[in-house]
Amino acid sequence: MKPYTQVERLIMMLSWFSSGRRYTSAQLFDRFDSRVHIRTIQRDLKTLQDADVKLKWRGLAGNEREWWLEKQFSSNLTLPVGMNEYLSALIMKDALKVFKGTQVEDSALKLVQEIDQMLPDDLFDELESIQISDVFENIDRGMYDYSAYSTVIQQLIVAITKQRKSQVKYLRPHSKHARTYEIEPRKIVQFNGAIYVDVYYRSRDSFITLALHRIQELKILEEKFHDQPKYDSTTVRRGRFGLFPADKIETIELKFSKEIAYHIDNRHWGDSQEISTDKHGNLILKMKIGVTPELVSWILSWGKYCTILHPASVSENIQDYY
């Protein structure tokens, strides 16, 4: 294998340092896949220093040194972009289809355009013949159109990042008139082609989930909220099959026919799930979960291929939802 030239080595080292990481000579030796002698690496580090590159170091045990770039200097360096990085950026942009027509999409497009400017000439020529649709496609039927909610989305981002209390005019399901609430927005959530926001409703001392498309008006207040109680999405969603809570958590046991078992296996349905098979090859899914319309709808969607083993009350009460 052809050895690196000094110019190649220096450029590679600068790109690694520009990420903000710190390296010892031994760690740089590993980054070079052991193809560059440690003494050569040490000479290259000295060369960078002599060239007035703002390279700092501190002594470690055994005469080893740890090197890094000053933040001000590293911020002026452009990170190299390869095929994988560029395609990953395009895939992430395409995965944001639910934000189509909003400022979030505009920002994602701007980011990709900035990455375009960082492409090496040879990679740019190679990508000329590649469309992201040839590599990746995000199919999500039934997505809401949030183009009219761009301002609300940006307000929520500000409220969350600045920890600002907000006043929301919200139309609850099956209600004819919207009501106004004071909330503390904590996290924006994308779920099944729709956008929601987890908020803390201090008047009831509880975290609740609001649908973005039901927000008629949002006003950011001057008062900041403190982060207690601490928001933790895992805790908030514990025992939920989807987004919304149930009055009661039960141990549910379902049997899926072996013909469709592969649709269930190797997927995450709940934090407490246990998956096994019976002697006939049918799949058994057991988990502690809240019985909600979301869960019932999912069970019924499997038709004759899903049998409720436990509890009997779920089978008896399933008609209450339909």
| Spacing of C-alpha 190 from chain mean position | 10
Boundary (domain end) residue, out of 189, 209, 236:
236
Q: How far apart are CA 188 and CA 186, in angstroms?
A: 7
pTM over 0.85: no
Residue 140 lies in a domain: no
| Residue range of the domain that includes 112 | 83-134
Residue 315: its pLDDT value, please? 78
Q: How far apart are CA 272 and CA 297, in angstroms?
A: 20
Asked if residue 261 and residue 308 are part of one domain, the reply reads yes
Boundary (domain end) residue, out of 25, 46, 74:
74
Asked if residue 220 and residue 176 are part of one domain, the reply reads yes
Residue 234: its pLDDT value, please? 87
Q: How far apart are CA 283 and CA 273, in angstroms?
A: 12
CB proximity list for 305: less than 8 A, separation 6 or greater: 256, 257, 259, 260
CB proximity list for 214: less than 8 A, separation 6 or greater: 170, 171, 172, 173
Given CA atoms 119, 125, 126, 127 in this order, what sign does their dihedral have? Answer: positive
Helices 150-162/103-116 angle, 10° precision: 80
Asked if residue 227 and residue 151 are part of one domain, the reply reads yes
For 95-205, where are the alpha helices, taking DSSP H only? 103-116, 121-127, 150-162
Boundary (domain end) residue, out of 185, 201, 236:
236
Residue 1 lies in a domain: no
Asked if residue 161 and residue 229 are part of one domain, the reply reads yes
Do 101 and 147 contact (CB within 8 A), yes or no?
A: yes
Task: Return the C-alpha torsion angle 75, 77, 80, 86, nearest 10.
Answer: 50
Question: What tokens appear for 283 in the block?
Answer: 């799949």
Regions of the chain with pLDDT less than 70? 1, 72-81, 117-133, 317-322
Q: Burial-class residue 241 by CB neighbours within 10 Å (0-12, 13-18, 19+).
A: buried
Q: How far apart are CA 215 and CA 152, in angstroms?
A: 8
Q: Burial-class residue 183 by CB neighbours within 10 Å (0-12, 13-18, 19+).
A: buried
Hey, which bits of 136-271 come out as E strands? 164-170, 179-191, 194-201, 206-211, 215-224, 249-256
Do 23 and 68 contact (CB within 8 A), yes or no?
A: yes
Residue 142 lies in a domain: no
Residue 214 lies in a domain: yes
| Spacing of C-alpha 47 from chain mean position | 41
192 sits in which H/E element: none
- Does residue 229 have a cis bond before it (omega within 30 degrees)? yes
**Domain total in the chain:** 4
Nearest to 104 by CA among 165, 149, 160, 142: 149
Asked if residue 60 and residue 10 are part of one domain, the reply reads yes
Residue 68 lies in a domain: yes
